[in-house]
Structure 1
Amino acid sequence: MKAVALDLDGTLLNSKKEISEENKNILKKLSENGVEILIVTGRPYPITKKIAQSLEIPLTVICYNGARVMNLKTDEIIFEKVLEENQVLKIVEFCRKNKKDLNLFQDDIWYVEDLESIGTKYYKNNSKLEPTLRSFDTFDNLQMIKSIIIDENDILEKVEKELREILGNSVYFTYSQDKYLEILNKDVNKGLTLKKVLEKKGIKMSECIAFGDAHNDLEMLELVGVGVAMGNAHEILKSRVQHITDSNDNNGVAKFLKSWKS
């Protein structure tokens, strides 16, 4: 094992959005022994940075579901792939027509057109981010790092189907939570970006262990040598990986890493 890649919510973080001492200690020990540690999350960089820094070890940060890679020391963007303007325009048009809560992300700022919508309040409560009110018509540049539509999962599945008819395979759809349909550049997901980062470090995907719990972790868990679903993970992940550990509230990451003999 030369690398460990970790999702945050539902994986490294417990239900209180904290990293346990057990998880911190095992990651610190591995890092001191030369193992590359990577955070791979759907979260925006500013709130990912605070969590990553709390580990107090050298880290690579992959955020926005693989759309951006950051240098934690310098805040330099190492890699980025955005949604193109024509794609975003189609998403905006669809959401306005169908009265869906659309959230756009650009330059680490979260933009909405309605501060009082259910979706805005829900995301604000979950992410602890502050939304910026702005008409999507006022952007000089509509290239976005990602967009999120917020609704109940059964409704989002219908939305995804309709948007696929409009956008085809020109974008990547995923769910970071049941209520979050995320739309990104077609050439990014957690697995693809992790592979690019590891290749630059001279590490093969077969030499990496990855942990996750949600749909947006699937590509990553399937591409690495050892993909591990958390005990609290979606059933689709558990059915498609070889390893399942304890839940995020029971130090599942630390338990698996302590028991892994390779």
Structure 2
Amino acid sequence: MFRAAFFDIDGTLVSFETHGVPDSTVKALAHMRESGVKIILATGRSLLDVHPDLQPGGRIAVDAVLAFNGQLCCDSKGTFRDCPLEEKDVRAVVSQAEAGLYDVILMQQTRFLMSRYSDRIRSTEERVGKTDAELGLSDALSEPTYQICAYIDEGEEGIFMHECSNVEFTRWCDGFCDIIPKGGGKPAGIKAALARYGIEPDECIAFGDGGNDIAMFGCVGQSVAMGEASVAVKVAASYVTSNVDDDGILRACEHFGLL
């Protein structure tokens, strides 16, 4: 019996085509929660830009959010994991971005800061939705940064890794990677959630579609890759379902007896 289900957002709950949550997904998650399964978001997004359907009062009731790839975790009772990037590492990345080595978006609790509005960032926004970011990084250190989106090609991450002492990166698409604290990521957020609720890994299921979901799959008893996921993600999952727009969540829930 599952006691918790962890969901990625983009490409898993929210469609890249419509930028909405399918009705079948809303139905499936409502049934799961009514059956006593905790619905937990595990996302690279911040609390600011979680889809409206997943916000308090939205169409889907959520028990907890593991934001910034697990660096800030909270539920209705408060925050249970808070792990921002170290200031010296933020400073190093900001320096490189201001030197024009690559573009970045700094993700903080109350705002996003963008180095410049480049074609590469614009292209990503067309896929996942617009990010309301402030231009300029001069005030970057006045608030903790939990994650940095670095618009850099796969294989070139050494540019910032050589300058930072306590970071790692994860990637769910070709356009950019997420810089997070070393030892962080969705597994760290899941571990914190399991401890908070007294749940064992084999009592959990996770749903995802991106490269940053592969490590999450290894933290739970069962895992589901969405139909549009890469081969690597599908190989790592217990089960491969259809695309989000083709009732992928509903079909997976039926397969695992969650409906």
State the TM-score, normalized to the length of structure 2. 0.89
What residue number does 1:130 align with?
Answer: 132
Task: Measure, in 1, the Cα distance between the counterparts of 2:51 and 2:19.
Answer: 14
Question: Which structure 2 segments of 5+ residues have no match?
Answer: none
Q: Is the 8 A contact 2:80 2:192 kept in 1?
A: no
CA-to-aligned-CA distance 1:155-198 (integer Å, 9 cap, x gap): x2232133333335x21201132212110111321122112112
Q: Give the partner amino acid of 2:156.
A: V
What residue number does 2:247 align with?
Answer: 251
- Once the two structures are overlaid, the 10-residue window that deviates more, 89-98 or 190-199, is 89-98
Q: Give the partner amino acid of 1:191.
A: P
Root-mean-square deviation (CA), in Å?
Answer: 2.1
Deviation of 1:58 after TM superposition, in Å, equals 4.3
Deviation of 1:98 after TM superposition, in Å, equals 4.8
SS in 2 for 1:210: strand
Q: 2:63 aligns with which of 46, 59, 63?
A: 59
Is 1:214 the counterpart of 2:215 in the alignment?
no
Q: 2:172 aligns with which of 166, 171, 176?
A: 176
Q: Give the partner amino acid of 2:131.
A: L
SS in 1 for 2:228: coil
What residue number does 2:200 align with?
Answer: 204
Q: Give the partner amino acid of 1:80.
A: D
Share of identical aligned residues, percent?
Answer: 25
Q: Give the partner amino acid of 2:27.
A: N
Q: Is the 8 A contact 2:104 2:149 kept in 1?
A: yes
Deviation of 1:84 after TM superposition, in Å, equals 0.8
Q: 1:87 aligns with which of 86, 89, 93?
A: 89
State the TM-score, normalized to the length of structure 1. 0.88
Q: Is the 8 A contact 2:98 2:115 kept in 1?
A: no
Task: Measure, in 1, the Cα distance between the counterparts of 2:253 and 2:223.
Answer: 12
Is 1:7 the counterpart of 2:30 in the alignment?
no
Task: Measure, in 2, the Cα distance between the counterparts of 1:142 and 1:46.
Answer: 15
CA 1:217–1:61 in structure 2 vs 1: closer, same or farther (change >3 Å)?
A: same
Deviation of 1:48 after TM superposition, in Å, equals 1.0
SS in 2 for 1:22: helix
Task: Measure, in 1, the Cα distance between the counterparts of 2:10 and 2:18.
Answer: 10
Task: Measure, in 1, the Cα distance between the counterparts of 2:190 and 2:20.
Answer: 24
More helix by share: 1
CA 1:140–1:241 in structure 2 vs 1: closer, same or farther (change >3 Å)?
A: closer
Q: Is the 8 A contact 1:124 1:130 kept in 2?
A: no
Task: Measure, in 1, the Cα distance between the counterparts of 2:24 and 2:132.
Answer: 31
CA-to-aligned-CA distance 1:118-140 (integer Å, 9 cap, x gap): 23433444332212123x33445
Is 1:236 the counterpart of 2:232 in the alignment?
yes
Deviation of 1:207 after TM superposition, in Å, equals 0.7
SS in 1 for 2:191: helix
What residue number does 2:160 align with?
Answer: 163
CA-to-aligned-CA distance 1:1-51 (integer Å, 9 cap, x gap): 111111111111123121111111121111111111111111121221623
Deviation of 1:219 after TM superposition, in Å, equals 0.9
Q: Give the partner amino acid of 2:185.
A: N
Q: Is the 8 A contact 1:101 1:149 kept in 2?
A: yes
What residue number does 2:28 align with?
Answer: 26
Q: 2:72 aligns with which of 47, 68, 72?
A: 68
Q: Is the 8 A contact 1:102 1:112 kept in 2?
A: yes
**Matched ranges for 1:188-203 at <5 A:** 188-203=184-199
Question: Which structure 1 segments of 5+ residues have no match?
Answer: none
Task: Measure, in 2, the Cα distance between the counterparts of 1:149 and 1:217.
Answer: 18
What residue number does 2:122 align with?
Answer: 121
**Count of matched residue positions in the alignment of Structure 1 and Structure 2:** 253
Deviation of 1:55 after TM superposition, in Å, equals 3.1
SS in 2 for 1:219: helix
